[in-house]
Structure 1
Amino acid sequence: MGHGDGRGRVVSRPDADDTGTRILHVDMDAFYAAVEVLDDPTLRGLPLIIGAPDGRSVVSSASYEARRYGVRAAMPVSQALRLCPTARIVPPHFHRYQEVSRQVMAIFESFTPLVEPLSVDEAFLDVQGVRRLWGSPARIADLIRTRVLDEVGITCSVGVAATKHVAKMASTVAKPDGMLVVPAPATLDFLAPRPVRAMWGVGPKAAEALEARGIRTIRDVRESSREMLDRAVGPALSARLTQLALGEDPRAVDTERVEKSIGHEETFDQDILDRTFLRAELLRLADRVAARLRRADWETATVSIKIRFDDFRTVNRSQTLSEPTAVGQRIGEAAQGLFEQIDRRDPVRLVGVRAENLRPAGGAGLGLWDDDEDWRKVEGAVDEAVARFGSATISRARHIGRGDGRGAAQHPKAHGVN
């Protein structure tokens, strides 16, 4: 695989053999940093860190120039600056990233209606049905790369393959600004030397369990007994990895894909010990999550929280609700209850609230009694006020004047698919 900084890049020619392919995985290159350079060309060629300038936040993204020093997303900015002291820190502009993302997705949809966005900067496309209109999958991939550069001004990398799994792996190998085509007959040869960590569904713990048994590549997965794989990662993941290692991936491009979760996080200017303050922050973040749910006409069935302590250890907790909701008070109360279950009383660096297991609003209907009726009315009135006057004018009374320790950095990935 590539190294995340452009080393080990492998690309194909535009006229590469694309026999048996139909799936494209298109991924913008260092998207946040690329948009910042687009808006300020003087940043081009510089090592850039997208994040809050106080050093206490985490890196949202980094340019390839910074990545070559070892800078990575989710790394503390202070650590990133130690690795790359000459880096320029640029605060994130999330509304601008969404705006550019819409331009890019519109280009994808001009080629095929079968587009599955994964996040603001990547998507799967099924181009099987538009070959007569645009040409072969490799030709379409090349056209997309050209149009994104010409019309938006940023670069992207594209993987072309017979399945989603292989297409995504190919786009990673091709980064930055490249295209890699894996014809169906070459799928097994392409997969064989790739690390197990690059496989869909293999997280750090699963990778460690596999590598501890000498299973380091996809070829090793194919050559390992099912019993060994079961012991390493459990029967369910074992079956999936066996299938993927053989180049089999039945997943289709899903144009109805919706956000899996909606969340907000807050990194504090100073570590916080005041649990009353932290509980209030969880409620404030829950209000923001709920407002986004209502705007999207969704409800959440599961609430989760993230608490990061001053030593960077992170605790996550989640709770399934008795009924789905988009009411901030209910989400906040669940988040506060989860917080009280955490035994550690150390200073807190970051808190986050996330709505998961989303479903269309009103799908479950209302019971004989609506316990949230009063809060629903209040929050509905707040939504109307925000629409008229802007969010900066509306807040719970308990949050007014509470600027101490808050507001160092909003988490950039308060978006959906994670």
Structure 2
Amino acid sequence: MHTVAAALADERGVPVAAGAQDASALTITCVHQGFELYGSDRCFIETVRTLRAAHPSARIDVILPRHGPIVPALEPFASRVVIAPLWILRRKNLARRCIVAPIALPVAVLRALRRIRGSDLVYINTTVVADYLLAARLLPGRSIVHIHEIPEGAVLKVLRGLIRWSRADVVFNSHATARAYALPAGTGARVVYNGIAAPAAMNRGGYDGRRPLRVLMLGRISRIKGQDVLIEAVAALPEALRRRIELRIVGSAFEDAARERALMEQIAAAGLSDQVTREPFVADPDALYRWADVVTMPSQRPESLGRVAIEAMAYGVPPLVTAIGGLPEVVEHGRTGWIVPPGGPEPISRALAGMIADPATWRGFGQAARARYEALFSEASAAEGIDAAVRATLRRSRAGSRPVLPIG
């Protein structure tokens, strides 16, 4: 483990405190659009940890848009953490950003270009960090972008164009994500499933129908995740079955208190206040996974992979997911969990009713889920894939060429 504590820095990159660095060491810059501890944030932490393990003497600078709970988690692995403005493409305030773009965006691109010029490798986490992707085109061969999202419509077209413009190498987190972007042949790209550190021990399981079924939904409250559809699914169950479910919805909306209030109002209006609790985001979800019999991702818009489902499987908890995006790549229906069609509450209601009515039919799902996690989604497997992608980009950076990497 890297023993030099990370240093917080201002946007000029001046550290508050920093360990000595070897001037000849590899310099890696890692750029992330978030500052919390949701799925993409945890993936970013794991990638920085992978880079530190693979390059123990490297200088690793982490660039974040603001201070947040992610910073202490990065400190053991980063040489310093720099808080700096980033040009992040989000639906919220996008119109205002477009208005100021003619002045502010060139400044942001120049700032990114300086950091790329001073780095041997720049790792950009997700497609929404527009200034670094635009700047990557001006210094080709040094950047790699890790794509964790599947947007739709015009947003997908914009982001696909941005990736193609950047000429950065690409890591997709699932085959579904790769299909959505449909990059042309000749793009340096590969698929690497997200890896997750295993808990110390998997859950024992033991749901036998004599107590309420404990269902957990963990994640940001948004139109993508489907919290509203899940509430409708529970409300649609016969009263006798509703009383045999305990549902915990854990997470917060991104700077949107109105969305959180609307969800609470929906729970109350459906008469589910005794069966459903909503809890704010927690940094460590271990106790939640230990509590759950089933973890659900009732997503209604494409999920690029499904980190929560993978985490559940690591604990030996079977997931209930919708057949959308990369989720079918995670769960094996009828063996490690359940896959139901998206588009409405009825399939979720039927799956929940079946779990309660006949627990014996899914008693072995937890062990099978853990085995699938170990085979496909372990931390070691992901680290191997990320390290291979990084080393390939470094070789091209030094050789000045761009051989094609197969997607797979």
Place the TM-score, normalised by the shorter chain, in its bin.
under 0.3
Larger Rg: 1
**Greater share of strand:** 1
TM-score by length of 2: 0.28
TM-score by length of 1: 0.27
